[in-house]
Chains A and B, each alone.
Chain A
Amino acid sequence: MRLDTDPYLSRYATRVNGMNASEIRALFAVAARPEVVSFAGGMPATSALDMEAVEAVVAGVIADAGALALQYGGGQGRPELRELLVEVMRHEGVPGHADDLVVTVGGQQALELVAKCFLDDGDVVLAEGPTYVGGIGAMSSHRAEVRHIPMDADGMDVDLLEEALERLRAEGRRAKYVYTIPNHQNPAGVSLSLPRRERLAELAERYDLLVVEDNPYGLLDFQDRRLPSLRSMIPDRVVYIGTMSKTFAPGVRTGWIAAPGPIRDKLVLLREAADLCPSNLTQMIVERWLSTQPWREQIKRFTELYRTKADAMLSSLQREMPPGVSWTVPAGAFYIWLTVPAGIDTSDLLAKAVGRRVAYVPGRGFYADGAGGDQLRLCFSYPELERIPEGITRLGELLHDELELVQAVFGDAAPSPDRRHGGPATGVGG
């Protein structure tokens, strides 16, 4: 008798093909244990919020307008919130009007709605390599082909972007959009430089491109610097995504899209089909947070904390990493991107790392094409400051040990794994 562990298999849509169980995901179940110093999850330090203030905000919403907060709302999101989100954008120098905005359930729903709005089977999207794993997930679930554009310390290499655009033109195809995280990119921790922004804007005009500008981290610059947004440069060609997850809290699941009118209208209809409307309750919490609390001060506090943590991680890396390991030096936000010597596979190594009670995210997850086996992401925003040196010491010992092992096993036959990644390997070497 043939037994099928999934009798529904013939019924699924093609988009779920390839959605499989994964070893890496299974290892993260261990990484979440308190014994492990985890640099894996890209999470903000919500414990740094003033909880008394949050409590007052939440209680105030229910006390003043409980019935409304618990009711359905409109698909575009509450106008009062959209006005306030425009202020958040302005704080960063990003232009916009409340009418341009669609409130979403975090930035992730924004990525999903944009993918749903533009992508058919086999469509090409150009994205930084490496790029946000959830961005790849949203695009892949609509069966798009993600082609990566290598990066360096100045972000996406725009010359290589142009080459990719030329190649597409030669194939008689075009990119549906370019997906970029220009500020303190996840996972690479670098920003797109001003000259490259200008060049990207110029290429967008020349090749008639749409750009999806995903900006969760722009307000978390350690020096409080702001680079001009792509939206400010080529507003008609940009779908801009913002979120409150990093500047307030991911638990309120509040993000937004700012898009040209016709695109905005489609997005509202798509969102109504998906989940009808964002939660009135969390929208009103965010409204009250933004209208009654010193949110700009809170962002400063977060940024200061993250800068301290980044410094702790960078000085630990400098001290603990073996020769041949390099990493990016972040100027903001959450992440450091590490490249290890040939012969070490960061996916395989995760098991050993977890055994030594330290966790990271292996590089492969940030590429749609299997590259990144010699890279990994470290997140410094969430772990407690005191545990960062301890965790990096464990990682350093592990890499020292692994290098010795690789040399012992490979002997004279020096390992030469694929170096197809284009992630920024430059920066400070150990």
Chain B
Amino acid sequence: MPDGPSIAVLSGGISLEREVSLRSGSRVADALSDRGHQVARLDVDGELVHTLDNGGFDVAFLALHGAAGEDGTIQSLLELIGLPYTGPDVLASALAWNKPIAQGLFARAGLAVPPRVTLSQQAFREMGATAAVDRIATELSLPLVVKPASGGSSLGLTIVEDTSRLPQAIVGAFSYSDVVLIEAFIDGTEVAVTVLDGHALPAVEIQPKEGAYDFAARYTPGATEFYVPARLDDLASAACARTAVTATESIGGRHISRADLIVDTQGTPWLLELDTCPGLTETSLVPLAAEAAELGFGALCERLVELALRDAESST
């Protein structure tokens, strides 16, 4: 397709999810070039603006995970350069990246969000938050999920079943963010719903073979079983789809997002978080949803490029 757009696939960077991003990036680049597109893979480093300015690119495909790639930083830079890009704009990216803010918006939009407490390092260092830690367990009841307020891949996440383990889990989560989220653990079926251009794709059910859906369960092929569509009744499936679409709208998302949900025994979907630059590796959830929607991975990537170009056109 020599007349097609020249695509810069951005991946890597110095985020903690660099490796996952590089894997997403190479898969996207391969899929797009298999479909005849002109593709260049770029790492995010000090030369980026120079390379983008001089590369003659028509569009940037963001296969970036973690800070700078997902929090609005790169989006802002691309706006400045005037290069269309896949995924949400600066504000939506920044809102989704900050999990406590995003959860507040989700709750305001009427979605079920796990009961939670947000604590910053400052609260511990300067305000004696430790004296209130005991109340967390009473307030939210065990087990608890302790995680950093930003970032993906379950990095820094601990499930705490015993209050005495809480301080260590909090310190661990602070390694990834200055703010930690402590949530009530919701028991139920774990599902992920991809929203593509405002429409929900079939829900993917996640069942790790051992323990939690942690880093190893996410990125080791075969460590997790997936069911597509998820084994939910029609009512719960529809509720999941609605939740994912509403969540995306509530932060002003576009093109693509992935909502991570737990469906409890009553069929209520609890929204854990919304990822606006979801993983596209061989074991990632969005590609599985695309396959189930009979879209295929290559077509999904192509569609995202079209959406980026469409929105750039409509905004000029």
Residue positions of A touching B, CB distance < 8 A: 1-6, 8-9, 20-23, 25-27, 29-30, 33, 35, 343-345, 348-352, 354-355, 402, 404-406, 408-411, 413, 415, 417
Interface residues of B in 158-173 (CB under 8 A from A): 167-168, 170-172
Asked, given contacts A343-B168, A351-B176, whether A3 binds B226 with beta carbons under 8 Å apart, the answer is yes
Q: State the CA gap A411–B215 with chains docked (Å).
A: 30
Interface membership of B175, Cβ < 8 A: yes
Give per-residue flags for B38-65: 1 if the beta carbon is below 8 A from chain A beta carbons, else 0.
Answer: 0000000100000000000000000000
Whether the pair A22, B216 counts as a contact (CB closer than 8 A) is yes
Which B residues lie within 8 Å of A350 (CB)? 175
Which B residues lie within 8 Å of A352 (CB)? 174-176
Interface membership of B156, Cβ < 8 A: yes
Whether the pair A29, B222 counts as a contact (CB closer than 8 A) is no
What are 20 A-to-B residue pairs whose CB atoms are below 8 Å? A2-B226, A3-B204, A8-B222, A21-B218, A23-B215, A26-B17, A26-B18, A29-B19, A30-B18, A33-B45, A345-B171, A351-B175, A352-B175, A354-B16, A405-B124, A405-B125, A405-B174, A408-B129, A409-B167, A413-B167
Residue of A nearest to B223 (CB): A20
Interface residues of B in 20-51 (CB under 8 A from A): 20, 22, 45
Which B residues lie within 8 Å of A6 (CB)? 221-222
Interface residues of B in 190-237 (CB under 8 A from A): 204, 215-216, 218-229
Which B residues lie within 8 Å of A355 (CB)? 16
* Min CB gap B227→A, angstroms: 5
Whether the pair A4, B225 counts as a contact (CB closer than 8 A) is yes
Which A residues lie within 8 Å of B168 (CB)? 343, 345, 415, 417
* Min CB gap B69→A, angstroms: 13
Q: State the CA gap A355–B155 with chains docked (Å).
A: 14
Residue positions of B touching A, CB distance < 8 A: 14-20, 22, 45, 121, 124-125, 129-131, 133, 153, 155-156, 167-168, 170-172, 174-176, 204, 215-216, 218-229, 282-283, 288, 291-292
Q: State the CA gap A343–B165 with chains docked (Å).
A: 11
Residue of A nearest to B121 (CB): A405
Residue A5 contacts which of B131, B227, B282 (CB distance < 8 angstroms)? B282
Asked, given contacts A26-B20, A351-B16, A415-B167, whether A1 binds B216 with beta carbons under 8 Å apart, the answer is no
Asked, given contacts A21-B220, A343-B168, A343-B171, whether A411 binds B17 with beta carbons under 8 Å apart, the answer is no
Q: State the CA gap A345–B165 with chains docked (Å).
A: 13
Whether the pair B15, A30 counts as a contact (CB closer than 8 A) is yes
Which A residues lie within 8 Å of B216 (CB)? 20-22
* Min CB gap B166→A, angstroms: 9
Asked, given contacts A3-B227, A3-B228, A352-B175, whether A404 binds B222 with beta carbons under 8 Å apart, the answer is no
* Min CB gap A365→B, angstroms: 15
Which B residues lie within 8 Å of A402 (CB)? 171
Q: State the CA gap A351–B175 with chains docked (Å).
A: 6
Residue of A nearest to B288 (CB): A3
Q: State the CA gap A354–B66 with chains docked (Å).
A: 13
Residue B170 contacts which of A1, A23, A409 (CB distance < 8 angstroms)? A409
Whether the pair A1, B215 counts as a contact (CB closer than 8 A) is no
Which B residues lie within 8 Å of A343 (CB)? 167-168, 171
Residue of B nearest to A349 (CB): B175
Closest 3 CB pairs of A and B: A6-B222, A21-B219, A6-B221
Q: State the CA gap A5–B130 with chains docked (Å).
A: 43
Q: State the CA gap A411–B124 with chains docked (Å).
A: 9
Whether the pair A29, B228 counts as a contact (CB closer than 8 A) is no
Q: State the CA gap A349–B173 with chains docked (Å).
A: 10
Asked, given contacts A5-B282, A405-B125, whether A33 binds B167 with beta carbons under 8 Å apart, the answer is no
Residue A408 contacts which of B130, B156, B218, B223 (CB distance < 8 angstroms)? B130
Residue of A nearest to B21 (CB): A29
Residue A20 contacts which of B19, B133, B204, B220 (CB distance < 8 angstroms)? B220
Identify which of B16, B130, B291, B292 gathers the most chain A CB atoms within 10 Å of its CB: B16
Residue of B nearest to A402 (CB): B171
Identify which of A348, A350, A406, A417 gathers the most chain B CB atoms within 10 Å of its CB: A348
Q: State the CA gap A424–B122 with chains docked (Å).
A: 35
* Min CB gap A304→B, angstroms: 34
Whether the pair A405, B215 counts as a contact (CB closer than 8 A) is no
Residue of B nearest to A352 (CB): B175
Identify which of A20, A22, A354, A415 gathers the most chain B CB atoms within 10 Å of its CB: A20
Q: State the CA gap A404–B174 with chains docked (Å).
A: 12
Asked, given contacts A21-B220, A27-B16, A354-B16, whether A348 binds B226 with beta carbons under 8 Å apart, the answer is no
Whether the pair A35, B14 counts as a contact (CB closer than 8 A) is yes
Asked, given contacts A408-B130, A409-B124, A411-B131, whether A5 binds B221 with beta carbons under 8 Å apart, the answer is yes
Identify which of B222, B283, B288 gathers the most chain A CB atoms within 10 Å of its CB: B222
* Min CB gap B179→A, angstroms: 13
* Min CB gap A209→B, angstroms: 36
Whether the pair B171, A409 counts as a contact (CB closer than 8 A) is yes
* Min CB gap A21→B, angstroms: 4
Q: State the CA gap A195–B203 with chains docked (Å).
A: 66
Whether the pair B215, A22 counts as a contact (CB closer than 8 A) is yes
Whether the pair A348, B156 counts as a contact (CB closer than 8 A) is yes
Whether the pair B171, A406 counts as a contact (CB closer than 8 A) is yes
